[in-house]
Amino acid sequence: MSKDDNMITIKLKRGNTEIEITCPEEKVKQTVENVIRGLEPELISNPVAAVDEPVKSISESKTPKPNVICRDLIYSLWHENWFRIEKNLSDVSEELSRNGYHYDKTSISHSLADLVRENVLTRVGSIRNYRYVQKKPPP
């Protein structure tokens, strides 16, 4: 067993601050506490970053998500007015990934096309360069 086998990598996000920590498994709690304590002065001087967001770790992002289909996730983005500004396929893929859902771009593209057919979104641009925008605001 090498030294690297006992190392754990954790990503912490609080407000606009994101930190990645790699430390031995037995020192995770102490290391995370030290990092959070070190962030407190920055959060006091930057109140925007002090938004109460739960601390997330890589291990949490590896937990299985409930069975949610890509179309429903994109529909929920529309419902949140995320498509009020034109978005391309990469933007949608990045947003889904940021939320912990990793679909291939073909699935995302098919789901976007379905929502265009349902008159939820409209598509502008040319083939391989489409941008999607809400056709009507959500209810």
For 61-79, what is each residue's pLDDT tens digit? 455 556 789 999 999 999 9
9: number of Cβ within 10 Å? 11
**pLDDT tens, position by position, 5-49:** 688 888 777 666 777 888 888 888 888 888 777 766 555 455 444
User: Residue 59 has what pLDDT?
Assistant: 44
Please name the helix (run of DSSP H) or strand (run of DSSP E) that holds residue 138, with its range, or none.
none
Question: How far apart, in whole angstroms, are the C-alpha atoms of residue 22 and residue 121?
Answer: 42
The three-point CA angle 91-97-94 to 5° equals 15
* pLDDT of res. 67: 75
Q: pLDDT at residue 57 above 70?
A: no
- Alpha-carbon distance of 81 to 94, in angstroms, equals 16
Residue 24's pLDDT is: 85
Identify the CA nearest to 112 among candidates 127, 82, 137, 132: 132
User: Considering only CA atoms, which of 129, 112, 106 is closest in space to residue 75?
Assistant: 112
86-90 mean pLDDT: 95
Q: Which two tokens stand for residue 41?
A: 């002065």
> What pLDDT score was predicted for residue 108?
95
- Segment 117-122 shows an average pLDDT of 94
3 pLDDT band, cuts 50/70/90, is low
Asked whether 114 and 71 are in contact (CB, 8 A), the reply is: yes
* 27 CA to centre of own chain: 27
**Topology of 70-134 in CATH?**
Arc Repressor Mutant, subunit A (1.10.10)
Contact 131, 123 (CB under 8 A): yes
